[in-house]
């Protein structure tokens, strides 16, 4: 581990602490001249992470912090190119690059396993944040601008354009986002959280360029910044770069940016607002009760609030969640249920969705009476202990997935750092958990928290958000009227200025920058080999594969079962079966008892399916059912017994529970559309290309969402619909019990012998499975041209082309082609010029399809035309070796992206299980590294043709006539 006190002379060492539960040392420093803080999490992990965070406190909903976050990354003093952020994505082996705008901070993080790459990115990020050019044309592109519908015709209609403008139109099409913004508007009446930091689409055009510059000058200063780093690069080395590249040029700001405390209410507030809906359903309202709590930087208050929230809402056996799930007043608990502790002052909220508008008072009364009842009767000690156990599990687990582990730790401490709290205490939960263990010995501890934080707290807001089928029309009309009024007031000179700016922006977007001024890595920096993971295979009736990995005292266990042959009805219900398998009762006990048992012994149970096409035949698949859990080493026997009991004795007779779960699933699926629209569009466009692709659409695509809605409606109307589904579940379960099984274990090597002995003893009487007729899907090869209409202010577009797959020689070039088209053409035309939040292309090896997509897109037919134009560009233009290298780097970077220790072991197990050996993957990697421009043009010409084309869009109902005229098959939910 690094020297705890070594630092650059421009910094003052404040303190250092080793956190054994995380196996890291957290070091705190302060830059002497500016007061900038630096927190370094020293680790032997070679994936180094950097983040600079700035306190950003907007005073309106114009989106200044969000638009600034985008514009800052559009060129800087040392790197005066138009788009260094996206250029560096292409010139890097980063494992993460992004920027975030929160309600009161803005952060710029990246991560890389390659030291050269890390320092390259560090230089670009530091210059971008503190010495940004903030060109007015970039503000026009990223934020908002006026433009004529025909850019060179002043007689055509005037429109608003801009990336953030359209991003927030998409974001605020989500009912959950509207609900959150509405609640915080009233919960925080007088400070920054009152406003939408991302920007309200109706307010964004009010932001001026001068406002942006003024906000940058006051907020983007080292005195208002915190530097946070993780990894094996010493703090002293990092600080030398901070000082040399940034800090030596600044002096301390005397005026500090701050978030004022909220003025507290003396009595509760009740408010009703609306959300845009296609139809007004009687039970379409959301009712949420929210309380303002204490400051998040007070760790005692924070963890008391976290414990209380967990005790009340963690799982279906938790007393408040149990009442909400079982209430006939609503369809499901609100997605906002829980604690929000990232703001300076915390908030707790709970409620229901799918409520009748007139039942608001009853929902509020239900929440309050339930809390009063819990406060009076108390909470079982084992339930409180279980929540402390869950806190310990979350503290110890080394995460992975979408965010690098080091970034997860940094983000856990960022809000505390920004608000000048104790970051080390925030990351070191063990002392807090031990103190809590003492506190909860008092039986009145939780009841007293309920009384103090909630029942006696007058700063309470009850929000009713009801569907309004005219809201979207009124909103669109208001924008049209505003634009008409602006246009009518324009002089001829002002009209020509708009035309000139549009032309200047288009020229800027089309200019070719000298990218050589940016640092880069090359193919020579790519690791030669893929990592290999040691494992031990233990044969027997239940074969076991053990991976020794650094899991920080946790054991990960998966029972893996070969999927047997299922009929069409069973296949369609397979994901629903998996989602419910661990949410039902077991044996003689009901689901509530099982939920309590899960919380007491492990990090919960989950069931899933792993299904992939074979290498040899896109219509053939391998499929596995997986029952997963994780626990601390002392609990491995209890966890294993729980997994076995669940597999053998799960109950399929809890009718009301199944109805609850189906209602909750429907709510989640409906809410996912505006956040996952591009994925849903690609799934729909690909659905005609293979049996697996078609089934993925039925399971997880738009038709899957429609099926979830229909099933919920059917179950509400008649219990026989529930009983029919339960009968299907029983058939699936019976077949799984007879199928071949194996076990996957991941844990630290020193625990291997004891874990294997314990697990073998527990599973000794698990019925031996036999080889069954294999799981299969009906072959599909057809065409689709579908448009899904829903309540959204933006579109999501996709085209999918049937290609080769598996081991075919063209697959490597198809994989590289996606990044090549995005980098060279699609990013410019769809995002920068078209105003969509995102757009690109990728090859999907599981379905053998090449897919284009756009995300939160103000356009539709123009974007589909841009997909086609990118193909023509690929075939007819000359292309450079540098562009090819960038596309290859992107593919290799995504292939090499690290996961958590447990995640990497599990991933290794499944690629082998699905027939993708290390030799196969390294051979493919070698093919990717040797792809040529000629190969890219060959695959584009061969596969990206009209005969192979399938199209899907998700868009607003207002587009129906346009889509019908284009020959789309119109579908609705």
d(CA 369, CA 581): 32
d(CA 573, CA 551): 34
Chain length of the chain: 973
Q: Are 421 and 296 in contact (CB under 8 A)?
A: yes
How does DSSP classify residue 59?
A: S
Strands 849-855 and 838-844: antiparallel
d(CA 194, CA 196): 7
d(CA 618, CA 317): 43
Residues with Cβ < 8 Å from 872, sequence gap 6 or more?
Answer: none
Q: Are 618 and 847 in contact (CB under 8 A)?
A: yes
Strands 37-42 and 225-231: parallel
Helix (H) or strand (E) holding 852: strand 849-855
Helices 430-439 and 381-396 cross at an angle (nearest 10°) of 180
Query: 202-230 burial, b for 16+ CB within 10 Å, e for fewer?
Result: bebbebeeebbeebbeebbbbbbbbbbbb
Residues with Cβ < 8 Å from 53, sequence gap 6 or more?
Answer: 105, 106, 107, 108, 225, 226, 228, 414, 417, 418
Q: Are 901 and 43 in contact (CB under 8 A)?
A: no
Instruction: For residue 69, indicate whether it is catalytic.
Output: yes
d(CA 563, CA 545): 19
Q: Are 331 and 667 in contact (CB under 8 A)?
A: yes
Q: Per-residue DSSP letters for 942-959?
A: HHSSGGGEEEEEEEEGGG
Report the SS3 class of residue 275: strand
d(CA 562, CA 550): 28
The CA angle 173-179-183, to the nearest 5 degrees, is 145
What sign for the dihedral angle of Cα 799, 802, 806, 809?
Answer: negative
Residues with Cβ < 8 Å from 914, sequence gap 6 or more?
Answer: 610, 612, 614, 622
d(CA 612, CA 691): 11
Q: Are 700 and 683 in contact (CB under 8 A)?
A: yes
- Alpha helices, DSSP H, located in 397-455: 405-418, 423-427, 430-439, 445-449
How does DSSP classify residue 751?
A: G
Residues with Cβ < 8 Å from 623, sequence gap 6 or more?
Answer: 562, 563, 609, 610, 611, 774, 775
Tally of CB atoms within 10 A around 15: 11
What sign for the dihedral angle of Cα 961, 964, 968, 969?
Answer: positive
d(CA 66, CA 87): 20
d(CA 12, CA 743): 52
Catalytic residue, from 28, 69, 654, 697: name it: 69
Backbone φ, ψ for residue 960 (5° rounding): -55, -50
d(CA 528, CA 543): 33
Q: Which residues are catalytic?
A: 69
């Amino acid at each position: 581990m690094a020297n705890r006190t070594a630092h650059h002379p421009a910094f003052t060492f404040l303190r250092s602490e080793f956190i054994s539960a995380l196996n890291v040392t957290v070091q705190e420093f302060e830059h002497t001249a500016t007061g900038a803080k630096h927190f370094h999490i020293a680790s032997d992990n070679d994936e180094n992470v950097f983040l600079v965070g700035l306190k950003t406190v907007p005073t309106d909903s114009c989106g200044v912090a969000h638009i600034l976050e985008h514009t800052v990354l559009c060129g800087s003093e040392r790197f005066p190119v138009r788009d260094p952020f996206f250029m560096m994505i292409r010139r890097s082996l980063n494992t993460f690059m992004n920027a975030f705008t929160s309600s009161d901070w803005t952060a710029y993080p990246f991560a890389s396993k390659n030291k050269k790459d890390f320092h390259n990115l560090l230089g670009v990020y530091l210059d971008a944040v503190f010495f940004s050019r903030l060109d007015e044309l970039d503000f026009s592109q990223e934020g908002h601008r006026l433009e004529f519908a025909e850019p060179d015709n002043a007689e055509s209609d005037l429109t608003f354009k801009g990336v953030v403008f359209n991003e927030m139109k998409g974001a605020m099409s989500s009912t959950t986002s509207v609900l959150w913004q509405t609640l915080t508007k009233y919960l925080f009446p007088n400070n920054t959280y009152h406003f939408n930091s991302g920007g309200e689409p109706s307010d964004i055009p009010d932001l001026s360029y001068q406002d942006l510059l003024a906000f940058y000058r006051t907020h983007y200063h080292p005195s208002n910044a915190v530097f946070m780093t993780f990894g094996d690069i010493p703090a002293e080395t990092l600080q030398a770069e901070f000082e040399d590249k940034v800090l030596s040029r600044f002096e301390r700001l005397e005026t500090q940016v701050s978030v004022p405390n909220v003025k507290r209410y003396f009595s509760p507030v009740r408010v009703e607002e609306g959300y845009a809906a296609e139809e007004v359903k009687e039970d379409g309202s959301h009712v949420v009760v929210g309380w303002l709590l204490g400051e998040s930087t007070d760790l005692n208050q924070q963890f008391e609030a976290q414990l209380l929230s967990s005790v009340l809402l963690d799982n279906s056996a938790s007393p408040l969640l149990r009442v909400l799930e079982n209430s006939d007043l609503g369809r499901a608990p609100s997605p906002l249920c829980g604690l929000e502790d990232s703001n300076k002052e915390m908030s707790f909220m709970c409620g229901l969705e799918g409520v009748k508008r007139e039942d608001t008072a009853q929902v509020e009364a239900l929440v309050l009476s339930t809390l009063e009842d819990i406060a009076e009767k108390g909470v079982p000690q084992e339930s409180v202990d279980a929540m402390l156990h869950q806190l310990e599990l979350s503290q110890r687990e080394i995460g992975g997935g979408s965010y690098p582990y080091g970034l997860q730790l940094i983000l856990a401490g960022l809000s505390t750092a920004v608000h000048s709290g104790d970051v080390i205490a925030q990351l070191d939960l063990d002392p807090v958990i031990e103190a809590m263990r003492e506190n909860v010995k008092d039986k009145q501890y939780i009841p007293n928290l309920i009384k103090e934080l909630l029942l006696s707290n007058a700063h309470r807001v009850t929000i009713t958000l009801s569907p309004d089928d005219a809201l979207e029309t009124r909103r669109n009309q208001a924008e049209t009227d505003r634009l008409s009024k602006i246009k009518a007031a324009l002089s001829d000179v002002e009209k020509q200025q708009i035309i000139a700016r549009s032309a200047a922006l288009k020229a800027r977007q089309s200019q070719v920058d000298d990218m050589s001024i940016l640092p880069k890595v090359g193919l020579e920096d790519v690791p030669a080999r893929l990592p290999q993971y040691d494992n031990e295979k233990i044969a027997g009736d239940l074969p076991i594969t053990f991976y020794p990995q650094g899991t920080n005292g946790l054991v990960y266990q998966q029972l893996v079962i070969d999927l047997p042959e299922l009929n069409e009805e069973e296949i369609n219900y397979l994901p629903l079966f998996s989602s419910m398998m661990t949410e039902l009762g077991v044996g003689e006990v009901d689901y509530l008892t099982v939920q309590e048992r899960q919380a007491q012994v492990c990090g919960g149970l989950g069931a899933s399916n792993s299904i992939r096409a074979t290498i040899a035949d896109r219509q053939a698949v391998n499929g596995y059912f997986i029952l997963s859990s994780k626990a601390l080493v002392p609990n491995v026997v209890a966890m294993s017994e729980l997994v076995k009991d669940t597999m053998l004795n799960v109950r399929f007779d809890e009718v009301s529970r199944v109805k609850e779960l189906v209602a909750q699933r429907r709510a989640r699926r409906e809410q996912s559309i505006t956040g996952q629209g591009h994925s849903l569009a690609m799934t729909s466009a690909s659905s005609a290309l293979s049996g697996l692709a078609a089934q993925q659409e039925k399971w997880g695509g738009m038709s899957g969402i429609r099926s979830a809605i229909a099933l919920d409606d059917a179950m509400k109307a008649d219990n026989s619909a529930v009983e029919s589904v339960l009968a299907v579940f029983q058939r699936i379960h019976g077949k799984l019990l007879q199928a071949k099984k194996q076990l996957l274990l991941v844990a630290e090597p020193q625990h291997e012998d004891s874990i294997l002995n314990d697990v073998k003893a527990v599973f000794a009487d698990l019925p031996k499975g036999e080889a069954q007729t294999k799981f299969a899907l009906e072959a599909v090869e057809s065409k689709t041209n579908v448009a899904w209409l829903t309540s959204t202010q933006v579109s999501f577009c996709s085209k999918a082309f049937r290609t080769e797959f598996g081991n075919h020689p063209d697959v490597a070039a198809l994989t590289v082609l996606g990044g090549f088209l995005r980098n060279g053409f699609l990013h410019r035309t769809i995002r920068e010029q078209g105003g969509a939040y995102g757009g690109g292309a990728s090859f999907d090896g599981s379905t053998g399809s090449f897919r284009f997509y756009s995300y939160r897109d103000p356009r539709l037919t123009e974007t589909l035309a841009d997909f086609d134009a990118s193909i023509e560009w690929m075939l007819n233009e000359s292309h450079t070796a540098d562009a090819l290298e960038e596309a290859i780097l992107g593919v290799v970077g995504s292939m090499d992206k690290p996961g958590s220790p447990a995640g990497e072991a599990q991933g290794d197990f499944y690629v082998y299980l699905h027939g993708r050996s290390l030799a196969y993957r390294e051979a493919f990697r070698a093919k990717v590294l040797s792809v040529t421009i000629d190969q890219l043009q060959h695959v584009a010409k061969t596969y990206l043709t009209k005969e192979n084309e399938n199209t899907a869009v998700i868009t607003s109902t207002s587009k129906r006539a346009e889509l019908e005229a284009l020959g789309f098959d119109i579908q609705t939910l």
